[in-house]
Structure 1
Amino acid sequence: MNSVTTSFIVNLDVPDLAAAEIFYTAAFDLRVGRRLGPGALELLGGPTPLYLLQNDAGSAATEDGDVRDYERHWTPVHLDWVVADIDAALARAVAAGAALERPIRERRWGTIAVLSDPFGHGFCLIQFSDAGYDALVE
């Protein structure tokens, strides 16, 4: 029997749940859903729930001995926030505490800005052109 995934959720480790709640609700207009005990918070208002999970810096991340580090880091998995007005979204994110790493750049498919949250997680703001990614189809 085949199984089809019809939805997904996003989990994001943070060292300070209260500070992360303030940042993500202010930067992206998300709202608190459920508090799942003292160390987890559900944020709603996006296309999928975002779960903030409190995990201290230096705590075990894998069974192989990797530990969590909240300095700025790179990962191949990150959030792209699709926005209608990239200038307004950028101003809002920076005002909430995001760091702008690359200013707004034009691409064939739209515009992009690269930022990081106060916890070292990189993310992008994307405003698609009318063609969007179809501008890349050959």
Structure 2
Amino acid sequence: MEFLVNLDVDDLERAIDFYVTAFGLEVGRRLGDDGVELIGGPAPLYLLAKADGSPAYAKGGAEPGSQRHYTRHWTPVHLDVVVEDIDAAVARAIAAGATQEQPTVTDNWGKLALMADPFGHGFCFVQFLGRGYDEIATS
């Protein structure tokens, strides 16, 4: 099994610049005019150009909230990016255009920084400390 990560963006070139700069990824393949594969992480990241206001699912419809928008939005699915130096990762992402939504917090398992990319997608940087999640794991 393999996971692929797909992110809708309204400006493909700006998204390439952000993800290459913020995460150190590289362009793998261009998939026509509306898609780019970024490589260098644990799973390929596919940036897919989708217009602001376009239907957010295949059947479309005028249901409230069913259109794409690229202001900050919430979804129960987001990326956690494990890093060795959270302060450096946060600084690099902010310089590339990300927003840090809350101050970095430290727990006994590690550090966590809640972030958002320029396209409204939330993500977190995680820096494990000690035994990482094993510090709080129960059987």
1:45-88 deviations in whole A, cap 9, x for unaligned?
Answer: 00000000000000011215211011100100001110000011
1:3 matched residue in structure 2: none
Q: Please report how far the alpha carbon of residue 109 of structure 1 lies from its aligned counterpart in structure 2 after TM superposition.
A: 1.0
Stretch of structure 1 that moved more, 59-68 or 81-90: 59-68
1:19 matched residue in structure 2: 14
1:130 matched residue in structure 2: 130
Structure 1: distance between partners of 2:56 and 2:87: 36
1:89 matched residue in structure 2: 89
Q: Please report how far the alpha carbon of residue 108 of structure 1 lies from its aligned counterpart in structure 2 after TM superposition.
A: 2.0
User: Which amino acid in the other structure matches residue 110 of structure 1?
Assistant: G
Structure 2: distance between partners of 1:35 and 1:130: 40
User: Which amino acid in the other structure matches residue 106 of structure 2?
Assistant: E
Q: Please report how far the alpha carbon of residue 17 of structure 1 lies from its aligned counterpart in structure 2 after TM superposition.
A: 0.2
SS at 1:48's partner residue? coil
Pairwise mapping of residues 51-66 of structure 1 onto structure 2 (< 5 A)?
51-62=46-57, 63-65=59-61, 66=66
1:79 matched residue in structure 2: 79
* Partner of residue 36 from structure 1, selected from 31, 50, 63: 31
Structure 2: distance between partners of 1:45 and 1:95: 20
Structure 2: distance between partners of 1:103 and 1:92: 15
1:49 matched residue in structure 2: 44
Structure 1: distance between partners of 2:37 and 2:130: 32
Unaligned runs of 5+ in 1: 1-5
Return the TM-score normalized by structure 1.
0.94
Unaligned runs of 5+ in 2: none
SS at 1:34's partner residue? strand
Q: Please report how far the alpha carbon of residue 123 of structure 1 lies from its aligned counterpart in structure 2 after TM superposition.
A: 0.5
